[in-house]
Every structure is written in C-alpha cells, then in structure tokens.
Amino acid sequence: MDLLNTIRKIAKDRIIKVGIGIGKTRSQYRTIIEGIINYLTYNQAEIFLFGMDIEKKDFLNEEINTRSRFKLNFVNSQKPESEMIDYLLNHKLDAIIRGGLSSNKFLEYLKKSLNMDEINRLALLETVNGHQFFFGPVGIDECNEYDAKITFLNGALSFIYSFNITPKVSILSGGRNSDLGRDMIVDKTIKESEKIVKYFKAQFPNLVITHDEILIEKAISNKSNLILAPNGISGNLIYRTLVHLGGGKAYGAIYLALNHVIIDTSRVGKSTEIEGALTLANFLHSQMKT
C-alpha cells in the first residue's frame, strides 16, 4: 500500500506554516529546497527556513520563489535549533522539520522545553521494491527496554488508526527462537518480543501482530506496515542500510504522543525525505485541528 499517498490525499489543500532547519553546506541546502519545490507543486504551505548566516544563501532563493506559490521566510539565528522550537511552542508555526540541523542540539533543547526524558520517533520508509512501512526505533537511545517498546507501539498504532489503515505489525528480535541460550542479549530480545506479542494480542484481539524473530525479510514479504526493531542501535542501522545503501527511501519520522507537530529527517537525506516530511506535517496538523 502507498501509505504516503494515502496520507497526502487526506491532508490535501490545507495551508500550514512550517519551519525547516537548513544545513551548513550548499548540497544540504539544495536538497531541502528541491524537496520544498516538489511539495509545493501539488500542495500549499508557508515555509520558514532557520539557519546560521542564512543571508549568504541567496543562490537558490529566486528559483523557489519563481517555481512555487509562496515566498520563503528566512530566520537567521546563531542557535537555529532552539529558535525554531521556540517559534513552534509560541504558536508562530504549525509544525517544524529538523532538516539539516544538529540532532544532539535539537533533541537536547526539545526535551528541556517539553520537560520530557524520552522521545519516540516513527519513521515512514520504503524498500527499493516500493513497499512502504512505518518503522522504529530510529534513535540509538530509543526503545531499549520492554516498557518503552509498549509505549512506542501504542503511539504508533494510534497514529496508524488515525487514517483508517489496518495495522499489520512485525516485532523483530536478535535471533530465531531456536537460538535461545546462545547469548544473553539475544535471549533478552527474543523473550521481550514474545512478551510484546502476547501483551498486544490480549489488548487488541483482532490485531495482526507476529514475532518474526531476526527475519526482517519475512516481515517485508508478509507486507507488514509497522515493524519494530530489537533496539535503538539496530533500528538506526536498519534505517541507514535501507536508505543509504539499499536504494530505499525515507519520508521523515514523526514524534509520537506530542501536542505539537514535529518531524525528524536525516541531515544527509534526499529531497524526497523533505517532501515526505512536509506531507506528514500537513496530515498531523490536520488531525489536531479536527
């Protein structure tokens, strides 16, 4: 199923104010601009770009102003990560996309501003063969314990149900069930995965959820649309391998269970990731307004 297109149709023709962080290099800036242009060919938005020394980056501004229906707004700041978050929290923006900004600085200020200890990001990915699915965790420090995985999956399921898609969930672990006893860490992931499946089957008897062990290829062949990695490190590696080595695509990652629309993207992501992030931001904002 084309999950991105389904989301795009729901949120079409809504105008939102979106902040996007820009990187320090010409290539990063060009990628972000191209993603914005592609999005504005079929939808509308008022875009605010946040960065340092932004007045020096005039080489593509005229292009986007010519090809799109809206002008860009530029916010020059020596601390663009905190500046963009402040704009969102002060209701100057409807949504923000991290874009090319530092992940460490962005997350540090976000947690401080929202008084939260942990975050959960749900990524929308696509294989080289075109299968789209939601995936997590994508941060190295996310979902490393059982309770965190339960919280993550509850948030992910709530999001998927919000656009009337039937979830098909695959839980991954560090080995096959027959590998029990070979390694303590592997054993922990296998037992946790079995426990997670049992928990959600009890909570949602009609939910399709399986423990597919270490066989991520099985999860894809079964057309799962929500896949949970064993932990944050493996999740981050799966994401990077798929998107940066395997010819797949990423369309941004939403921050779950927040009262604000925040989308994460890779600093080395493609223009399609910025375009997808704008689509996700539009959809999430539309859900909050209904």
Q: Which CATH number is 71's domain given?
A: 3.40.50
Give the pLDDT score at 52: 81
Q: Print the domain residue range for 247.
A: 120-255
- Whether residue 23 is found in the same domain as residue 2: yes
Tell me the pTM. 0.93
- Whether residue 169 is found in the same domain as residue 232: yes
- Whether residue 106 is found in the same domain as residue 27: yes
Residue 221 lies in a domain: yes
Looking at the chain, the whole-number percentage of residues with pLDDT higher than 70 is 92
- Whether residue 107 is found in the same domain as residue 124: no
Q: How far apart are CA 135 and CA 128, in angstroms?
A: 15
Residue 260 lies in a domain: no
| Lowest model confidence (mean pLDDT) among 31-40, 65-74, 132-141, 227-236 | 65-74
In this prediction, residue 210 has a pLDDT band, given cuts at 50, 70 and 90, of very high
For 119-164, the pLDDT digits (tens) are 899 999 999 999 999 999 999 989 999 999 999 999 999 999 988 8
- Whether residue 182 is found in the same domain as residue 142: yes
Residue 271 lies in a domain: no
- Whether residue 109 is found in the same domain as residue 149: no
Residue after which a domain boundary falls, among 117, 152, 182 = 117
pLDDT of 59 > 60? The answer is no
Residue 274 lies in a domain: no
Residue 276 lies in a domain: no
Average pLDDT score over the chain: 90
Looking only at the bridges linking them, the beta strands covering 132-136 and 121-126 are: antiparallel
Number of domains in the chain: 2
For 217-232, the pLDDT digits (tens) are 999 999 999 999 999 9
In this prediction, residue 290 has a pLDDT band, given cuts at 50, 70 and 90, of low
Residue after which a domain boundary falls, among 73, 91, 117 = 117
Residue after which a domain boundary falls, among 117, 150, 172 = 117
Residue 5 lies in a domain: yes
Residue 287 lies in a domain: no
In this prediction, residue 3 has a pLDDT band, given cuts at 50, 70 and 90, of very high
Average of pLDDT values for 192-202?
97
- Whether residue 213 is found in the same domain as residue 90: no
- Whether residue 124 is found in the same domain as residue 247: yes
- Whether residue 33 is found in the same domain as residue 92: yes
- Whether residue 129 is found in the same domain as residue 74: no
- Whether residue 125 is found in the same domain as residue 100: no
In this prediction, residue 81 has a pLDDT band, given cuts at 50, 70 and 90, of very high
Q: What is the CATH number of the domain that holds 213?
A: 3.40.718.10
- Whether residue 62 is found in the same domain as residue 35: yes
Q: Which has more confidence, 75 or 65?
A: 75
